[in-house]
């Protein structure tokens, strides 16, 4: 272990604890704290195991085939960790609007959104439309997490269609009108309002009902109307 490792690790742990306390970063600070063990001596797991397990001597050499297999698996794992976060360069077209490539990526604290959502549930058996409030079924934190994320909005639509009563054999329909403003851009309707999200299947591909928005950014320090950028009214993914 390097002589400055304890000081550096303490500083890193303190930094990540402050991030967890000040910002809402979910699991990231705790994962980063766990990753600081990579800077310790490679023998530290063995020293801990010796306290609980009997010592076992192994004199036979490791075969070249096993070494090659381990190195190959390690190379595949490293390539996966590097290439998958770069998938946004393949699926271009509104990454910040769709949030399809935000998870497991190297993008963090780059987008701020203002969201206005209208949920409508229709019972085709009686032709009745009802506007639903997410607060009736979700906590404030759940609503914040769901935000504009297409997969979570679709999942909530399925939940409403299954939970609410229907008066006939036809299933309920759920339509979402969601207006999103990102980094001061003009609010835009990002979901097709004519699509029944309760009937949409789960998919890893960009949903067909998700619109691509390519509005340019407003001038620095201003929103789409030319007014000063109101940072306090927006939310970070």
> DSSP string covering 157-212, please?
HHHHHHHS--SSSSPPEEEEEEEEEETTPPPEE-B-TTS-GGGPPP-SSPPTTBPP
CA distance 221 to 227: 8
156-194 per-position pLDDT tens digit: 999 999 988 877 788 999 999 988 887 778 888 888 888
- Closest residue by Cα to residue 26 from 103, 81, 129, 82: 103
pTM (global) more than 0.95: no
pLDDT tens sequence for the chain (237 residues): 444 577 888 898 999 999 888 887 778 899 999 988 888 877 777 777 776 666 666 666 767 888 899 999 999 999 998 888 877 776 554 455 566 666 777 776 677 778 888 899 999 888 888 898 888 899 888 887 787 788 889 999 999 999 888 777 889 999 999 888 877 788 888 888 889 999 999 887 778 888 877 777 777 766 766 555 444 334 444
For the chain, give every domain's residue range. Answer: 1-60, 62-90, 95-233
């Amino acid at each position: 272990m390097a002589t400055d490792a304890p000081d550096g690790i303490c500083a890193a742990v303190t930094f990540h604890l402050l991030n967890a306390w000040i910002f809402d970063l979910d699991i990231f600070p705790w994962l980063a704290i766990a990753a600081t063990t990579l800077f310790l001596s490679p023998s530290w797991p063995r020293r801990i195991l010796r306290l609980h397990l009997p010592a076992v001597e192994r004199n036979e050499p490791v075969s070249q085939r096993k070494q090659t297999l381990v190195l190959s698996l390690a190379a595949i794992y490293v390539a996966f960790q590097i290439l998958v976060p770069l998938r946004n360069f393949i699926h271009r077209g509104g990454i910040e609007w769709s949030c399809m490539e935000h998870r497991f990526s190297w993008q963090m604290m780059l987008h701020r959104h203002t969201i206005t959502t209208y949920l409508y549930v229709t019972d085709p058996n009686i032709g009745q439309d009802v506007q639903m409030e997410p607060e009736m079924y979700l906590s404030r934190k759940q609503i914040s997490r769901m935000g504009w994320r297409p997969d979570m909005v679709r999942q909530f639509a399925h939940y409403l269609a299954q939970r609410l009563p229907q008066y006939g054999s036809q299933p309920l329909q759920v339509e979402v009108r969601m207006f999103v403003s990102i980094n001061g851009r003009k609010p835009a309707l990002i979901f097709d309002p004519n699509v029944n999200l309760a009937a949409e299947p789960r998919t890893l591909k960009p949903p067909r009902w998700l619109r691509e928005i390519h509005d340019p950014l407003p001038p620095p320090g201003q929103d789409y109307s030319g007014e000063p950028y109101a940072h306090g009214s927006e939310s970070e993914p």
